[in-house]
Amino acid sequence: GAGVLALPIAGGAYLYTSTRRDTAGDVPFDNPLAVPPLDEGDLRGGARNFSLDAEAGETPIKPGKATPTWGFNGSYLGPTLRARRGDDLRFTVRNHLEETTTVHFHGAHLPADCDGGPHQAIEPGGSWEPEWTVDQPATMLWYHPHPHGNTARHVYRGLAGLILIDDDVSDGLDLPREYGVDDVPLVVQDRNFDGDNALEESETWTSTTGIIGEDVIVNGTYGPYFEATTRRLRLRILNGSNARVMNFAFDDDREFLQIGSDGGLLTEPHRTRRALLSPAERADIVVDLEPGETVVLRSLPVEDVGVGSIFKRFNGMDDRLDVLQIRAADELADSPEVPAKLAEIASLSDEPAAERSFRLAGFSTINGDSMDMNRIDFGAQVDTVEEWTVRNTDEYHHNFHVHDVQFQVASIDGEAPPPPLAGWKDTVFLEPNRDYRLRMRFDQYTDPDLPYMYHCHILFHEDFGMMGQFVVLGEGEEVGTVPDMAAHG
Ligand code: C2O
Ligand code: CU
Ligand code: CU
């Protein structure tokens, strides 16, 4: 069970934090897993047209009263958008909320004015119409608000959704692909509910990371079960939590195959018993099932990653949480073997045109600076590869996310990355005091005045300023000046 622990900190203040939480075996699993509706867009004018409406509503989650929540085209989360590499996408995003928001396409390679970061604010009652051509490998991306200083609250209330991208490579592989049947997305989120089932938004007892939720919901379902009908089940997992790191495993410790990461399929399946995901990271996994069996997906305590034991405790990294029960039918349809070779990944081995270093410290700075909407930190040259060395200088956890690109982890403290980090990534967990060398190619020219973001995806840190801005410059260009932000409200 959980209790509250008060830790004395400097100045006679106290941090209030929960002790280790263990829900293994306690979650009733009496609600069928909700699967977000699939939306392949409206084919018009040679493009795939999508509409997203951010709105407030009420969602039955825990037994008893419904929970006031926000969602896209509904009361919680949003539709799963599906498109192919090469498609032209057109969006109409409307804001029916009473405050300014944005919709960011996390992991997407797109022009800066379509990114949906803090510079693409949508006023209450307003709308926004980004469009771009999909130019990246098959994978699962996601979308979520990114209004500066308010991202954590907007995501916590339920604004998030998935994007599935297919391409010729994924079409040519015999992988489970029937949405909601043998290819099931899991948006895993931790939440706290008060006595009336309203979302508890106070951060008073978590201090350095923002909200760590005591309950886990999957696609908005509390205590979910899924009825599997096939021998192999593909789960596309997003850690959609604001701050909690999750260490996915099955209750019988069975092996499974990880076949993809944030930005695409791996080169070959990775046989494992664990998938460690920090907030915003994704894992594409395939698990084998026996007829009639029941197996539970859990988040286990995070093994030794160098996070101090006190921080591990109050950031929930010692917790053991039930996530999803899988009930296999008595007769299971056959599924093909997972292919031994998946995608080709050309390594970004070009001589880097620039090397940069990023030090994350406290909960609000990178290289000593906090986010300033009017400061562009640097410009990368279009059509070059850069190498960024990123370091978490704290004893607690951070991660690192870069907009517009998928990067490669070239090394961690000089060593080759483990298989789950050897494919395309847009977010990487930073174990304390290690050097993560990331390589990325910038091939999308932007306006020198219009930046992309890089930041910690612990949303409380991001909101407090652990974020910076960069542009992608053409030949001979210099970093511009962000137009007066007052104009954006
Ligand atoms: Cu998922 Cu800058 O965000
Ligand atoms: Cu992003
Ligand atoms: Cu952080």
**Cβ(82) – ligand 1 distance below 6 Å:** no
What average pLDDT score do residues 322-336 get?
98
Question: 20 to each of 87, 100, 212, 297, how far by Cα in Å?
Answer: 47, 37, 12, 19
Ligand 1 centroid–CA 162 distance in Å is: 13
Ligand 1 atom nearest 453 alpha carbon: 2
**Cβ(119) – ligand 1 distance below 6 Å:** no
Percent of the chain with pLDDT over 90: 88
Residue extent(s) of CATH 2.60.40.420 domains in the chain = 31-171, 174-333, 354-488
Ligand 3 centroid–CA 449 distance in Å is: 26
Hey, whose CA ends up nearest to atom 1 of ligand 1? 106
Sign of CA dihedral 437, 442, 446, 448: positive
**Cβ(160) – ligand 1 distance below 6 Å:** no
Hey, whose CA ends up nearest to atom 3 of ligand 1? 106
With a cut of 80, say whether residue 331 has pLDDT above it.
yes
In this predicted structure, what is the pLDDT of residue 209?
A: 87
**Cβ(104) – ligand 1 distance below 6 Å:** yes
What average pLDDT score do residues 174-178 get?
98
**Cβ(148) – ligand 1 distance below 6 Å:** no
pLDDT in tens, 103-161: 999 999 999 999 999 999 999 999 999 999 999 999 999 999 999 999 999 999 999 99
Ligand 3 centroid–CA 426 distance in Å is: 15
The closest ligand to the CA of 118 turns out to be: 1
With a cut of 90, say whether residue 61 has pLDDT above it.
yes
What average pLDDT score do residues 219-248 get?
98
Supply the mean pLDDT for the chain: 94
Ligand 3 centroid–CA 139 distance in Å is: 25
Least confident of 2-11, 206-215, 378-387, 453-462: 2-11
pLDDT in tens, 256-306: 999 999 999 999 999 999 999 999 999 999 999 999 999 999 999 998 899
350 falls in which pLDDT band (50, 70, 90)? confident
Ligand 3 centroid–CA 332 distance in Å is: 43
With a cut of 90, say whether residue 1 has pLDDT above it.
no
Structure tokens at 174: 């015999």
398 falls in which pLDDT band (50, 70, 90)? very high
Residue among 244, 255, 238 at smallest CA distance from 289 = 255
With a cut of 90, say whether residue 311 has pLDDT above it.
no
Whole-angstrom Cα distance, residue 248 to residue 250?
Answer: 7
pLDDT in tens, 65-91: 999 999 999 999 999 999 999 999 999
In this predicted structure, what is the pLDDT of residue 408?
A: 98
**Cβ(467) – ligand 1 distance below 6 Å:** no
Ligand 1 atom nearest 427 alpha carbon: 1
CATH class of 174-333: mainly beta
What average pLDDT score do residues 334-344 get?
97
What average pLDDT score do residues 359-379 get?
97
Question: 416 to each of 126, 270, 435, how far by Cα in Å?
Answer: 47, 15, 12
**Cβ(146) – ligand 1 distance below 6 Å:** yes
Residues, CB within 5 angstroms of ligand 3 (ion) = 398, 456, 458, 461
In this predicted structure, what is the pLDDT of residue 174?
A: 97
The closest ligand to the CA of 466 turns out to be: 3
Percent of the chain with pLDDT over 70: 94
In this predicted structure, what is the pLDDT of residue 4?
A: 52
Ligand 1 centroid–CA 141 distance in Å is: 11
The closest ligand to the CA of 453 turns out to be: 1
In this predicted structure, what is the pLDDT of residue 204?
A: 54
Q: 398 CB contacts (<8 Å, ≥6 apart)?
A: 360, 392, 430, 456, 458, 461, 466
pLDDT in tens, 13-33: 445 555 789 999 999 999 999
Ligand 1 centroid–CA 332 distance in Å is: 39
| Architecture of the domain made up of 354-488 | Sandwich (2.60)
With a cut of 70, say whether residue 12 has pLDDT above it.
no
pLDDT in tens, 425-438: 999 999 999 999 99
What average pLDDT score do residues 95-103 get?
98
Ligand 1 atom nearest 462 alpha carbon: 2
Least confident of 92-96, 197-201, 205-209, 352-356: 205-209
| Architecture of the domain made up of 31-171 | Sandwich (2.60)
With a cut of 50, say whether residue 486 has pLDDT above it.
no
Ligand 2 centroid–CA 154 distance in Å is: 15
In this predicted structure, what is the pLDDT of residue 444?
A: 84
What average pLDDT score do residues 154-176 get?
98
Q: ipTM of the predicted structure? A: 0.99
The count of other CB atoms within 10 Å of the CB of residue 471 is: 25
Structure tokens at 475: 């030949």
With a cut of 80, say whether residue 7 has pLDDT above it.
no
With a cut of 90, say whether residue 97 has pLDDT above it.
yes
Ligand 1 atom nearest 144 alpha carbon: 1
Q: 37 CB contacts (<8 Å, ≥6 apart)?
A: 79, 80
Ligand 2 centroid–CA 2 distance in Å is: 33
Ligand 2 centroid–CA 41 distance in Å is: 22
**Cβ(403) – ligand 1 distance below 6 Å:** yes
Ligand 3 centroid–CA 217 distance in Å is: 23
The closest ligand to the CA of 394 turns out to be: 3
With a cut of 90, say whether residue 309 has pLDDT above it.
no
**Cβ(455) – ligand 1 distance below 6 Å:** yes
